[in-house]
Structure 1
Amino acid sequence: MCYDIAFTTSIESIFKYLPQLRSAGNLDIHFDSTYHKIGMSYPQWPVIVNNNGLQLEKYTWGPIPKMLNTAEKVKKQRQLFLNARSEKVLENGTLWNAIRHQRCLIPATGFFEYRQIPGWKNKVAYYIKAKEQDIFFIAGLWALSNSWDADKPERIPTFALLTRSANPLMAQIHNGGDNAGRMPMILTNELATAWLNEQLTDTDIRELLQYELPAAQLDYWPVNSVRKVKPDDAAVIAQVQYEGLPALTV
């Protein structure tokens, strides 16, 4: 699953791809660029929602559903809700189906995934980004969640990032673990705008979620592990040469 993302450019770059965001309030959002944030730290992140027009906000990554009704449950299980499988959005009885009309976009400049190499002790981390533009949009769902924070007892806006079955490139990179063969639900700019249309029917949602980003539209290279504490700078996404690393085929 996708737990590691980056936003290495300025927040203003979002307006280049969604110019309709240039409305009252959207120019005041501040967000420092970052080369890596892990979902399990439950960071704040810029998201786009439709609230009587497209709005750029900062929400916290990681919903806290009502079933997590104690601080202990939140600590142990919240990470299970960082990502939402796109196949569950229209499945009756799921959390994601219940909030399917609370749609959002998560802008990113890249994400990280790990590749399992037969005979190698450690997996190899890859940085993956769009080839033709500096940012891309991932489909998401948002919800108001109990914060379980003694200093902030009010409900807070949170989001989950949607994933889908991997395209041929990502199937080779994300090839190990319980959730192998997944990738973020990346949308074209046109589909990203459509995702926020408040009038979408379930049929429309199903059609949008069928989209698979072509592998040829992604750039990628191996990097050092991002699960180790390090400065938040360009070294995080610097390409690393691994001797004997099998090539990927696209």
Structure 2
Amino acid sequence: MCYDIAFSANIESIFKYLPQLKAGGNLDIHFDPTWHKIGMSYPQWPVITHRNGLQLEQFTWGPIPKLLDTLEKVKRQRQLYLNARSEKVLENGTMWNAIRHQRCLIPATGFFEYRQVPGWKNKVAYHIKSREQEIFFIAGLWALSNSWDVDKPERIPTFTLLTRSANPLMAQIHNGGDNAGRMPMMLTNELAEEWVKPSLTDTDIREILRYKLPAGQLDCWPVNSVRKVKPDDATVIAPVIHEGLPALQL
């Protein structure tokens, strides 16, 4: 699944790709560029919603469903809700189906995934980005969650990032673990605009979720592990050469 993302651009860059945000967006939002954030730190992140017109907001990554009704459960299980399978959005009885009308977009400049290489002890980290534009949009869902913070007892806006079956390139990279063969639900700019429209029917949602970004629209290269503490700068995505690493089939 996708737990590592980046937004290394200026926040104002989002308006270049969704210019209609200028009318309803919040230009006062403060978000420092970051080369890597891990979902398990439950960071604040810019998201686009249509709660009160199309607007840019700042939500916390990681919903806290009602079934996590103790602080211990929150600590142990919240990470399970950082991602949601797109196939579950229209599946009756699921949490994601219940909030399918609370749609949002997660802007990013890149994400990271690990490749399992036969015979190698350690997996190889990759940085993946759009080949065609600096910022791309990932489909998401948002929800108001109990904060479990005694100093801030009010409910907080949170989001989950949708994933789907991987395209041929991502299937080669995300090829190990229980959730192998997945990738973020990346959308074209046109589909991103559609995704947050309040008037979408379930049929409309289904059509958007069928979209799979072609492998040829992605760039990727090996990097050092992003799960180790390091400065939050461009060195995070510096290419790394691994002797003997089998080439990806592009």
Q: Post-superposition shift, 1:53? A: 1.7
Alpha-carbon spacing, 1:211–1:24, altered in 2? closer, same or farther (3 Å): closer
Matched residues, number: 250
After superposing the two structures, state which structure 1 stretch, 47-56 or 208-217, moved more.
47-56
> How far, CA to CA, are the matches of 2:21 and 2:11 in structure 1?
12
2:24–2:53 CA contact under 8 A, matched in 1? no
Q: Which residue matches 1:182? A: 182
Q: Which residue matches 1:95? A: 95
2:85–2:162 CA contact under 8 A, matched in 1? yes
> How far, CA to CA, are the matches of 1:32 and 1:113 in structure 2?
23
> How far, CA to CA, are the matches of 1:25 and 1:104 in structure 2?
14
Could you tell me which runs of 5 or more consecutive residues in structure 2 were left unpaired when the two chains were aligned. none
Alignment of 1:120-199 (within 5 A): 120-199=120-199
Alpha-carbon spacing, 1:25–1:117, altered in 2? closer, same or farther (3 Å): closer
1:236 partner SS: helix
> How far, CA to CA, are the matches of 2:47 and 2:25 in structure 1?
14
Q: Post-superposition shift, 1:23? A: 2.2
Q: Which residue matches 1:85? A: 85
Name the TM-score, length of structure 1 as normaliser: 0.99
The two structures, once aligned, show a CA RMSD in angstroms of 0.7
> How far, CA to CA, are the matches of 1:71 and 1:153 in structure 2?
13
Name the TM-score, length of structure 2 as normaliser: 0.99
2:79 partner SS: helix
What are the Cα deviations for residues 171-193 of structure 1, in whole angstroms up to 9, with x where unaligned?
Answer: 00000000000000000000000
Q: Which residue matches 2:231? A: 231
> How far, CA to CA, are the matches of 1:149 and 1:39 in structure 2?
18
Q: Which residue matches 1:67? A: 67
> How far, CA to CA, are the matches of 1:25 and 1:113 in structure 2?
31
> How far, CA to CA, are the matches of 2:177 and 2:5 in structure 1?
19
Could you tell me which runs of 5 or more consecutive residues in structure 1 were left unpaired when the two chains were aligned. none
Q: Which residue matches 2:116? A: 116
- Percent identity, please: 82
2:24–2:54 CA contact under 8 A, matched in 1? no
* AA partner of residue 215 (structure 2): A
Alignment of 1:29-44 (within 5 A): 29-44=29-44
Q: Post-superposition shift, 1:70? A: 0.3
Q: Which residue matches 2:46? A: 46
Q: Post-superposition shift, 1:107? A: 0.0
2:20 partner SS: helix
Q: Which residue matches 1:204? A: 204
1:122 partner SS: coil
* AA partner of residue 167 (structure 1): N
2:178 partner SS: coil
1:16 partner SS: helix
